[in-house]
Each structure stands twice: as structure tokens, then as C-alpha cells.
Amino acid sequence: MKLLITGGAGFIGSNFIRHLLASRPDFEILNFDKLTYAGNSENLADLTIDSSYQFVRGDIGDHRTIERLFESNFDAVIHFAAETHVDRSIEDASPFLETNILGTQRLLEAARRFPNLRFIHISTDEVYGSAAPGESFTEESPIDPRSPYAASKASAEHFVRAYANTYGISAVILRCTNNFGPFQFPEKLIPLIISNASENKPIPVYGDGLQERDWLFVTDFCTAIRLAIDTAKPGSLYNVSAGSPQPNLKIVRTILQTLGKSESLIQFVQDRPGHDRRYALDSSKIRRELGWAPAVSFEDGIRRTIEWYQSNSQWLDHARSGEYRTYYERHYDRRSQTLGN
């Protein structure tokens, strides 16, 4: 199978590429990524560019480049590329509309010329909005996005479904909860806690810290995506979650305890505007229909994550200092690895 992966230099995409290369050596992968601030070529530094893995730098919003890219006749597109940080979407929503909505539409437009192509769209639990205490959203629950990021992801999903309905694109949508694990950029909660605590810097906890997130170890999401490529029916939609939401403050305390750091590092700060109180998904459909189940408990996952950041301090230093942004220029031949202008 020949796969186009968009956004493969980011957190989940890079974990997914590594997962595929290990589990499906028969797959050919082309990773197409703009390398925004969130795209980190150091995430893929151990991979060799060869017949099973290629990297092309480019923007999914650039329709000429996308049209040319699709001439490679892929069997499937796994669409991760997105602006992903909620706080940034509150500061400026424009890049979220450009990439998450228009970029997705450009990919769909190119994809509709290939009736056998599978389009796996990576979406988020945030499209449902905030869950009440004890509530878990199913795939039948109405969507109610409440941040600019969530609204852009919900809109992208509408385009995916509209193109599937209108042009017969074989699309599958996966709505996943918060991922955690190696290679996550330290603007997101878990790597931020590890990073700040290791330097004895304050840990900003928004509001009362009792907002809940339904954490899933990233390799478990990778297995769900692989199952979707192999077995999901066109038109299907799946929630993916471990199903055990936890308050942010508990996560902060667990990490501080594991690192042997004092809780005095916790600093309550002003809440995120419009902050969703709770995310929780019912993932019984993917468990029943595709036989998926998470393999890594939160406790094991958080231990592995902390150990990874501790033994990859150079990666973290480069992510914090911005040095990772020069890696691509230093290591890739721009003429052969760049499409477009």
C-alpha cells in the first residue's frame, strides 16, 4: 500500500509513521508536512529516506502542489496536518481556518479524482464540546464545538462528509481524545509539566485545575488508525478513547510526584477563555466493530512518557530553544525534498 501522510512531522503523525514502519514494512509512506512551528524534523531524525519512507515539505493549502502530489496514485491518505493548539486558536483563529478547513478541502478536491483512495480523517473529541459530569459522548451525540480550534475541526469534518456524499470519496473519520507520549511539543499540558518541573519552573494550571481530559497513550491511537486503514468501512465514524477522564490537577500532581518535585511549583493562573470543562468519549463502537482496545494504562503510559523526556533531554532542549527549526535546513536536500514554490 502506498500512503500519503499529512502532518507526519508532528506529535501523533511522527509516532504513527514509526509505528507503521515497524508493523507494516510492506507500506510505502510519503510524509507531506509544512514544518510549521509544530512540525519537528527531529521527531523523524532516526528514519532513513528510502523506498519505504519519503518526506516532502509543503502546505496542504497550496492546491497546485497538492494536485501534483496526488499524481503519485496513493491507496490511502491519513490526514493529520492541522493547527492544533487551542490557546493559539484563541489568540488568532486565521491559520486554523486556512489549514484545518481550506487545507482539508484542497486535499478532498484532489482526492475526488481517485475513486479507490481511502481518506482517513483525523479528528478530535473537541467537536462534541464539553461533557456533563458522568456523560460520555457517542458517535450519535450532536456536535457543539466551543473553541475556534474545535470549530475549525468540526467544519473540516463537515467537508469530509460532504465530499463523501457528493463525490463518493471513501472517507473514515476518527475522533480521538487527548493523546500523550513521546515527541509531543512542550506547549501541551503533559510535556509542559515535565519540562517546567525538570527546570523547577512554575507549572501554570488554568482556573481551578479540575477540568477533565480522557488521556490516551499515543501508540494506542496509532493502532486504531492502522485498523481503520485496514478494515473500516467507507463512511464510518469512530470515537477513540481510553474512557477514563481525569482532572488536570491530578495529572500535574502525579507527574510532580514521579519526578520527586514539590507541589509548590503549581501556579494557578487565569483560566482559558471558554475552557471546556470535560471531555469524555464512549468508544464501544470501535471496540466492537474493529476489535480495537487500548493496550497501555495511563499509569504505564505516563511513566514511559516521563522516562522518554528524561532520556531525550536534547530533543526537549531543542524544542524549547527553537533549535529544532534549523534541523530540516541542515539535513534535507531542498531540491529533491520540496514540492511547489
Residues serving a catalytic function are 125-126, 149
Q: Which is nearer to ligand DAU, 201 or 233 (CB)?
A: 201
Check binding of 159 to ligand NAD (CB under 6 A): no
Residue nearest ligand NAD, CB atom distance: 10
Q: Which residues of 17-49 are buried (b: 16+ CB within 10 A; e: fewer)?
A: bbbbeeeeeebbbbbbbbbbebbbbbbbeebee
Q: Which is nearer to ligand NAD, 17 or 38 (CB)?
A: 38
Q: Which is nearer to ligand DAU, 126 or 220 (CB)?
A: 126
| Residues 284/136, Cβ–Cβ less than 8 Å | no
Check binding of 35 to ligand NAD (CB under 6 A): yes
Check binding of 238 to ligand NAD (CB under 6 A): no
Residues 58-97, mask of contacts with ligand NAD (x by CB under 6 A): -xxx------------------xxxxx-------------
Cα separation, 122 vs 156, whole angstroms: 10
Cα separation, 60 vs 68, whole angstroms: 12
Q: Which residue has the cell 495529572?
A: 251
Q: Which of 22, 23, 21, 29 is nearest to 1 (CA)?
A: 29
Phi/psi-derived region of residue 260, left when phi > 0, alpha when psi is between -120 and 50, beta in every other case: left
Cα separation, 160 vs 3, whole angstroms: 18
Q: Which is nearer to ligand DAU, 155 or 248 (CB)?
A: 248
Cα separation, 161 vs 236, whole angstroms: 10
Residues 289-308, mask of contacts with ligand NAD (x by CB under 6 A): --------------------
Q: Give, rounded to a whole angstrom, the gap between the first and last alpha carbons of the chain.
A: 29
Residue 99 touches which of ligand NAD, ligand DAU, none (CB < 5 to 8 A by kind)? ligand NAD
Among 19, 34, 118, 287, which residue sits at the site for ligand NAD (rule: CB under 6 A)? Answer: 34
Residue 211 touches which of ligand DAU, ligand NAD, none (CB < 5 to 8 A by kind)? ligand DAU
Check binding of 185 to ligand NAD (CB under 6 A): yes
Residue 206 touches which of ligand DAU, ligand NAD, none (CB < 5 to 8 A by kind)? ligand DAU
Cα separation, 297 vs 169, whole angstroms: 36
Q: Which is nearer to ligand DAU, 19 or 153 (CB)?
A: 153
- Residues forming contacts to ligand DAU in the complex (CB under 6 A) are 84-86, 124-126, 177-178, 188-189, 192, 204-206, 211, 213, 248, 272, 279
Check binding of 122 to ligand NAD (CB under 6 A): yes
Backbone torsions φ then ψ of 112, nearest 5 degrees: -70, -10
Cα separation, 101 vs 61, whole angstroms: 9
| Residues 8/17, Cβ–Cβ less than 8 Å | yes
Q: Candidates 53-61, 165-173, 200-208, 300-308 — which segment interacts with ligand NAD by CB under 6 A?
A: 53-61
CA dihedral 292, 284, 78, 50 (to 10 degrees): -10
Q: Which is nearer to ligand NAD, 90 or 265 (CB)?
A: 90
Residue 189 touches which of ligand DAU, ligand NAD, none (CB < 5 to 8 A by kind)? ligand DAU
Interface residues with ligand NAD (CB under 6 A)?
6-7, 9-13, 33-36, 38-39, 59-61, 80-84, 99, 103, 122, 124, 153, 176, 178-179, 185
